[in-house]
């Protein structure tokens, strides 16, 4: 952790300690805003491949979403790449050529509050809406390649559509939102009454508890073919959350379990890329 991060964490803890005493509800609302705010924003560094791509943009919930299209052809099968929290479209540069060379059209967008898109915060429902807008404007999408929060948001989007002809690749998906919340509470210790208020803030958004925002809840209901890639040593999305669904042996879900790739290196793995290519031809 850098000195800047340490100072920020100390300041934030002090702020919430004081706010919790004044108003548990206000503290919970501020904690949720922090939960949805990307604190790290990668410097945009576009490769020549991205610089030459077709630029796209649209508006969702007041946010201007910007993205790229590669190998556009009306009759091509379409892949949408959905990045994770505190990431961006350009991070998946190495995914473009392997799939365009197979004839696929590739779409990839910066989520709200990420990359070149506007906004300050991102949560699963906003991301879900963005994904559904992409399908309506530039689809139909045949395959979704997702990472982290992108996996949760895409799962929620497909739950509503539930098309058996599509394919979903989940790379280290944010499997259980409850686990992410527990992690935040460990970093930012909040009293029990504030944690209860935090749950109410989430429930108020869509009349659903935090446990509803679960890839493990959605996947058994999906009709499409799913490839789930996860590392046993993932430091952000615990493998123990994955085991619940792994042991169900769902006929439409295939797993690839890796070792020591963690949460981010996993989508840079050549082995993972080759497994995805094989899955697309199944």
Structural domain harbouring 244: 47-176+214-280
pLDDT over 60 (residue 55): yes
Write out 123-151 in H/E/C secondary structure. CHHHHHHHHHHHHHHHCCCCEEEEECHHH
- From the centroid of its chain, how far is CA 119? 16
Quick one: which of 58, 55, 98 has its CA closest to 79? 98
One DSSP character per residue, 150-216 reads HHHHHHHHHHHH--TT-EEEEES---BHHHHHHHHHHHS---HHHHHHHHHHHHHHHT--GGGSBHH
- Residue 165 CA to residue 245 CA, distance in Å, equals 22
Q: Could you tell me if residue 40 is inside a domain?
A: no
Q: Could you tell me if residue 238 is inside a domain?
A: yes
Q: Could you tell me if residue 200 is inside a domain?
A: no
* Mean pLDDT along residues 60-68: 98
pLDDT band at 240 (very low <50, low <70, confident <90, very high): very high
Number of domains making up the chain: 1
Predicted local distance difference test score (pLDDT) of residue 169: 98
Predicted local distance difference test score (pLDDT) of residue 8: 55
pLDDT band at 120 (very low <50, low <70, confident <90, very high): very high
Q: Could you tell me if residue 196 is inside a domain?
A: no
Q: Could you tell me if residue 195 is inside a domain?
A: no
Q: Are 164 and 140 in contact (CB under 8 A)?
A: no
Q: Could you tell me if residue 37 is inside a domain?
A: no
pLDDT in tens, 162-208: 888 999 999 999 999 999 999 888 888 888 999 999 999 999 999 99
CATH number of the domain to which 143 belongs: 3.40.50.1820
- Residue 9 CA to residue 3 CA, distance in Å, equals 10
- Residue 277 CA to residue 65 CA, distance in Å, equals 28
Interior/surface letters 251-273, b for 16+ CB within 10 angstroms, e for the rest: eebbebebeebebbebbebeebb
Q: Could you tell me if residue 39 is inside a domain?
A: no
Quick one: which of 64, 158, 175 has its CA closest to 113? 64
> Average per-residue pLDDT in the chain?
93
Instruction: Tell me whether residue 125 is exposed, middle or buried, using C-beta atoms within 10 angstroms of its C-beta: 0 to 12, 13 to 18, 19 or more.
Output: middle
Q: Could you tell me if residue 166 is inside a domain?
A: yes
């Amino acid at each position: 952790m850098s000195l800047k991060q340490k100072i920020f964490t100390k300041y934030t803890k002090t702020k919430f300690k004081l706010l919790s005493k004044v108003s548990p509800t206000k503290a919970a609302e501020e904690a949720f805003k922090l939960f949805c705010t990307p604190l790290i924003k990668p410097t945009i560094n576009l490769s020549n491949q991205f610089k030459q791509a077709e630029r796209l943009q649209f508006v969702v919930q007041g946010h201007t979403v910007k993205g790229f299209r590669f190998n556009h052809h009306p009759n091509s099968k379409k892949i949408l790449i959905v990045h994770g929290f505190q990431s961006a479209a350009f991070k998946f540069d190495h995914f473009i050529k392997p799939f365009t060379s197979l004839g696929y059209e590739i779409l990839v967008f910066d989520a709200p509050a990420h990359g070149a898109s506007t906004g300050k915060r991102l949560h699963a429902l906003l991301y879900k809406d963005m994904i559904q807008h992409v399908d309506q404007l530039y689809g139909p999408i045949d395959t979704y390649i997702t990472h982290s929060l992108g996996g949760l948001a895409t799962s929620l989007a497909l739950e509503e559509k539930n098309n058996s002809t599509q394919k979903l690749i989940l790379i280290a998906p944010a499997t259980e939102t409850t686990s992410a919340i527990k992690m935040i509470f460990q970093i930012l210790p909040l009293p029990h009454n504030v944690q209860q208020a935090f749950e109410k803030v989430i429930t108020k958004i869509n009349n659903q508890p935090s446990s509803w925002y679960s890839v493990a809840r959605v996947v058994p209901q999906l009709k499409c073919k799913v490839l789930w890639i996860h590392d046993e040593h993932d430091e952000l999305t615990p493998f123990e959350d994955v085991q619940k669904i792994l042991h169900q042996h769902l006929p439409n879900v295939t797993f690839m379990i890796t070792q020591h790739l963690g949460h981010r290196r996993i989508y840079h793995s050549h082995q993972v890329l080759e497994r995805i290519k094989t899955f697309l031809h199944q």
